[in-house]
Structure 1
Amino acid sequence: MARRARSGSGSGAAPQDGYLGGQVLIAMPGMEDPRFARSVICLCAHSPDGAMGIVLNKPLEGLSFDELLKQLGLEPVPPQRRIRLFQGGPVEGGRGFVLHTLDWASDQSLHVTEDLALTASVDILTAIAGGGGPRQGLLALGYAGWGPGQLEEEIQANAWLSVPPDEELLFGAEGDRKWFQAMAKLKVDPLLLSGAAGHA
């Protein structure tokens, strides 16, 4: 995460060149992979080399922000401010990423959109614990990753829908509520969706 690359397509902008960096992926009801059933994912990077995203609606059990700060030796504990912890995906589950609004950034922050960044350095945790940092953020352990062409194949197979992000969707409701909220942005009743691929 040592580069300030622009991988998004602008805040709320339509994806360009067929790539969905900066968009939110919504698992279709027929998602066969149990790790991603009813998942909502912020796609932080998408290129010919593959894709990387953070799952937004699977709260992390068994570890609090205070405990994480203690494990990392960061102060102050107790912190002046906390953020929620999530299971960001099945890849590198021991690595932490903070998805956050772009009113705070470091040289190591990856710009996802004009309003959103991803930071993997401990500087942001120190800033948040001290009462500062970005206005909105969440900490994810691990991420979701796709190899070259893999996400495109899954989308063709009707595994994912996508919507532009907004702060409420990114940082608001949790669990299944967020999945239904994401579906509502598409004005789609998930109960009416088929898990089978359909091409006009």
Structure 2
Amino acid sequence: MPGDSPTIQLQHHFLIAMPGLEDPVFGKSLVYVCDHGSHGALGLIVNKPADVDLKTLLDKLDMPLQREDLMQSPVYMGGPVHTERGFVLHTAMPAASMTADDADHGPTYGATMRVTPDVEMTTSRDVLESLAEGKGPAQVLVCLGYSAWGAGQLESELAENAWLTVQADPRILFDVAPAARYDAALKLLGLEPWMLSSQSGRA
């Protein structure tokens, strides 16, 4: 029976929007899936910068940024849910790199989801405070809002060929320019953007 087959597991995968997905939020988007199970899925759009950078955002929060490497970092539109809240994708904090202050509150922040041993997502304010103080994770990607699917919803969209999926490469998240991430994720599948129209509508 089809219903007895195991549920596809897409945590730490990219969702690559197909050309037929013309939604104003998700069209031409690359989504990093942080959590996926029978309850639904949660992800962040990682290739659509908002009209604010990290320095400006932290200035508004009265937390002047002291990380020189992040001064030009954009903030991203992570999705349509809770767009007033920050969601921070970041590399894991190795215990050896922590200062005494970091050690006071342990290896992770107040509200951190471990996606893989190397990638975490934090929603608590303390990660932003850490960045403002010149500390924090080595690499970060800050989003406003997130993307969510109810139970079975993402699977239905996959069946309708709305998305391609591929296991995520953290280098695309943290080392590739935002405008190049969509194409870089396609290359993980051996595809180029011009090939997608021929893939549309095929199972």
Give the match for residue 158 of structure 1. Answer: 161
Q: Are positions 1:80 and 2:67 aligned together?
A: yes
Residue 55 (structure 1) aligned to one of 45, 51, 56: 45
| Separation (CA, whole Å) in 2 of partners of 1:33 and 1:89 | 12
- Give SS of 1:162's match: strand
Query: Residue 37 of structure 1: CA displacement?
Result: 1.4
State the match for 1:120 in structure 2.
Answer: 123
Contact in 1 for aligned 2:76/2:142 (Cα 8 Å): yes
CA contact (8 A) 2:112 2:120 kept: yes
Structure with the larger helix share: 2
Give the Å deviation of 1:136: 0.8
Which of 10, 15, 26 is the aligned partner of 1:25?
A: 15
Q: Which amino acid aligns with 2:158?
A: I
SS of alignment partner, residue 34 of structure 1: coil
1:64 to 49, 53, 70: 53
1:9 maps to: none
1:31/1:195 contact within 8 Å kept: no
Paired position in structure 1 for 2:192? 189
- Alpha-carbon distance between aligned partners in 1 of 2:124 and 2:172, rounded to the nearest angstrom: 24
1:38 aligned to 2:41?
no
- Partner SS, residue 137 of structure 2: coil
Deviation at 1:89, TM superposition (A): 0.7
SS in 1 for 2:10: coil
d(CA) in 2 for partners of 1:64 and 1:198? 39
Question: Cα RMSD (Å) of the superposition?
Answer: 1.8
Distance 1:176 1:30 in 2: 20
- Of the two, which has the highest radius of gyration? 2
| Identity across matched positions, percent | 39
CA pair 186-70 structure 1, distance change in 2 beyond 3 A: same
Shift of 1:17: 4.1
- State how far apart, in whole Å, the 2-side matches of 1:186 and 1:78 are: 37
Question: Residues 85 and 24 (structure 1 numbering): CA distance in 2 closer, same or farther, change over 3 Å?
Answer: same
**2:163 partner letter:** W
In 2, Cα distance between equivalents of 1:53 and 1:46: 9
